[in-house]
Amino acid sequence: GGNWPLPVRPSGDTTGVRDVVTIQEVIDAMPSTGGVLRFAAGVFYLASEINVSKTMKIEGAGGGIGGDAGTDPSIAATTINVISQTANGFNVSASGCTFRDFALINTYAGTPTAGAGIKNTSNTTTTIDAITVLGFYNLLDLAGVYYSVTNCRLYDGVNFYAYHHSLTSPYDDHGDFVFANNVLSGWKKSY
């Protein structure tokens, strides 16, 4: 696959429309074999989900956030804010994708009632590494097999922090999944 020539930069549009259009256009312009999508440092806003239908690497400039429970998180080098009560951040239908080095935060003012930070729909071999996911209804919704989730920080899931499931009967017996060296905790919530 090819690489996008430059990192995608945030538009500054806090309505979440421009960044969705730009990111989706970059993905759609890649060859069917996929490629690499790099996010520059900064804050992006999504009003709706990004559809990933090609095998690709999606990388930011850093995904660590800091702070104490009960406070707003400090901004990671690459922060992607989803402003919807029900939208996914990324809806992934391709196998073999990689997500690395960004923070994905639901910033809706109330409680999310649907949606996941990353939702994978019956695919395989996705790698999720060194990202922060905060405040979605489901933080990770992973259908399929052979996933790897490592070195992530998962905070304040409304329903599930990590929901791993099979959608089709041939894979019902598979437990082939790596979930290692992650932090699952509260950030703004008290438990």
Note the pLDDT of residue 1. 42
pLDDT over threshold 90, residue 108 = yes
Extended beta strands in 12-159, E state: 35-38, 42-46, 50-52, 56-59, 78-82, 90-92, 98-100, 103-106, 116-124, 127-129, 132-134, 138-145, 147-150, 153-155
pLDDT top residue among 9 and 167: 9
pTM of the model: 0.91
**Which residues does 169 contact at the CB level (< 8 Å), separation at least 6?**
none
For residue 169, give the DSSP letter: G
**Which tens digits make up the pLDDT trace of 116-141?**
999 998 778 899 999 999 999 999 99
**Which residues does 11 contact at the CB level (< 8 Å), separation at least 6?**
18, 19, 22, 44
pLDDT top residue among 132 and 144: 132
| Closest listed residue to residue 112, CA positions, set 159, 47, 51 | 159
Q: What is the distance between the alpha carbons of residues 52 and 97, in angstroms, rounded to a whole number?
A: 9
Q: What is the distance between the alpha carbons of residues 101 and 132, in angstroms, rounded to a whole number?
A: 8
